[in-house]
Structure 1
């Protein structure tokens, strides 16, 4: 088995960040080997491979969770680029990464890693699925903020659920046995309830309950945070000239995390601290 390094990505305090096992040389690994790493560690795991000839990319990244392969994972990408930089394997401070969801650009500035996400899209959810969604989360319509529940997508579709306040967010106890069912009905890969923490400083708190990854909750989810930015934009809570948007996650799990997002010409830059 290839060497595995465990990174913690989007760290915002002691014990924080989302763990990401990384294999920097996965050339000899089969898909079964990769899935075995994810199952052993119980987290999204990343595998670095040579880029295809003629792709104009520097690396290929593959991503596995315990249950299946993923086309792209934000925090794993950040962790892998940070690790490649630390061991001196980045050809320059800006690289192109081949993934199954398309090319991802990454850059390193004074040790801080940022990666790109494409321009997002926002769409309404099936209103008939909302009562089931609220029941799965263990809340009622009175616990929601006065904004619509939406689906939003950069690399994957997430369902954005605006709750009234941080206390409501913290007390969510979903029926995890039904999350996959309601996500399938919504056409979503995860439920992402969120609350406004500081509207003037553009700080938001969120939790991620994935559809079928093999674990019930994520400590930090870059792809979901990127989708949230476009939901916030649609609701007028932020504007494109915002210096940054900060999405905090993981507090309820004892893993404080923070994802920093900034608008770019063709989408977003997202990054955060890695240890």
Structure 2
């Protein structure tokens, strides 16, 4: 059995930007070990497209692996897989439903351009919670990130999630964010204790334009930093809403990530409103196909 793996870069802000994701557009018949081997061989979050489960009322099932384990949901791999399926002529329509281990995800194609489909996927309403032990956890996060207490912005450090919990760490400036040099050896234990899957420090670049810069240091994915993290950006948007940094509207929020890795990315988030209140959000961004990206996984 051989399965073609195509490498896409998702949320790309320019020709060398975005978070790369290996995608298998037809993963039927692949075992868990096969999927994990793809993620390990690339060292990246990887997406796998399968037929939908019976009675799921979905168009596809997507599964996601990082080198160390399977994930319940991956925003950039979902966007990238849908963009690739459209490019291959395999989408049944412009309004879609995807089954994942975190539940049903809605998706839509907003438009098609010379660069391919403009894909948006849904995320549920976010929850924002205090750290389990605020003073201790705050002190440990400051120490692990190698910053001073005065480097923090006035908003609290909090856990937030639409799919997976991320720890939002507000910083006073983009310069502080860019200079971070974390102690990666301690992040997994900290995240385990505080119930998080990664630290997501951020700094507001332009409040009026709703532009925020961020970096993602995952708990235990097998690599130290992410170039773009859609699930974290969705969680951050609800954190910004809770802190009064953005209003509940459908105006776009732009989360910029990846600059420290020389892979500049832009993640676009818009709240979904029902009776004027956010009921979830739409998540999207540009995708590009890496040149000469087709390989066989077996």
TM band (smaller chain): over 0.9
TM-score, L = length of structure 2: 0.91
Indicate whether 1:3 and 2:4 are aligned: yes
Matches within 5 A, 1:158-237: 158-237=166-245
Secondary structure of the equivalent of 2:284?
Answer: strand
Per the TM alignment, residue 109 of structure 1 is displaced from its structure 2 partner at its CA by 2.1
Q: Provide the C-alpha distance between the structure 1 equivalents of 2:250 and 2:239, rounded to a whole number of angstroms.
A: 14
Secondary structure of the equivalent of 2:55?
Answer: coil
CA contact (8 A) 1:14 1:255 kept: no
CA contact (8 A) 2:161 2:235 kept: yes
Per the TM alignment, residue 242 of structure 1 is displaced from its structure 2 partner at its CA by 4.7
Q: Provide the C-alpha distance between the structure 2 equivalents of 1:66 and 1:76, rounded to a whole number of angstroms.
A: 14
Secondary structure of the equivalent of 1:84?
Answer: helix
RMSD of Structure 2 on Structure 1 (CA): 0.7
Q: Provide the C-alpha distance between the structure 1 equivalents of 2:183 and 2:13, rounded to a whole number of angstroms.
A: 28
TM-score, L = length of structure 1: 0.99
Deviates more, 1:63-72 or 1:137-146: 137-146
Secondary structure of the equivalent of 2:33?
Answer: helix
Number of residue pairs matched by the alignment: 275
CA contact (8 A) 1:145 1:163 kept: yes
CA contact (8 A) 1:197 1:204 kept: yes
Secondary structure of the equivalent of 1:259?
Answer: strand
Q: Show structure 2 runs of 5+ residues with no match.
A: 112-116, 274-278, 289-298
Q: Provide the C-alpha distance between the structure 1 equivalents of 2:223 and 2:51, rounded to a whole number of angstroms.
A: 29
Look up the match of 2:291: none
Indicate whether 1:116 and 2:122 are aligned: yes
Matches within 5 A, 1:125-164: 125=131, 126-127=133-134, 128-164=136-172
Look up the match of 1:40: 41
Per the TM alignment, residue 237 of structure 1 is displaced from its structure 2 partner at its CA by 0.4
1:173-222 deviation per Cα after TM superposition (whole angstroms, max 9, x unaligned) = 00111110111111100000000101110000000000000000000000
Indicate whether 1:274 and 2:287 are aligned: yes
CA contact (8 A) 2:266 2:285 kept: yes
1:22-55 deviation per Cα after TM superposition (whole angstroms, max 9, x unaligned) = 0011111100000000000011000000001111
Q: Provide the C-alpha distance between the structure 2 equivalents of 1:14 and 1:45, rounded to a whole number of angstroms.
A: 21
Per the TM alignment, residue 165 of structure 1 is displaced from its structure 2 partner at its CA by 0.1
Secondary structure of the equivalent of 1:4?
Answer: strand
Per the TM alignment, residue 129 of structure 1 is displaced from its structure 2 partner at its CA by 1.5
Q: Provide the C-alpha distance between the structure 2 equivalents of 1:186 and 1:87, rounded to a whole number of angstroms.
A: 42
Per the TM alignment, residue 262 of structure 1 is displaced from its structure 2 partner at its CA by 0.4
Q: Show structure 1 runs of 5+ residues with no match.
A: none
Matches within 5 A, 1:52-131: 52-110=53-111, 111-125=117-131, 126-127=133-134, 128-131=136-139
1:49-70 deviation per Cα after TM superposition (whole angstroms, max 9, x unaligned) = 0001111000000000000000
1:131-158 deviation per Cα after TM superposition (whole angstroms, max 9, x unaligned) = 1111110012111011100100100000
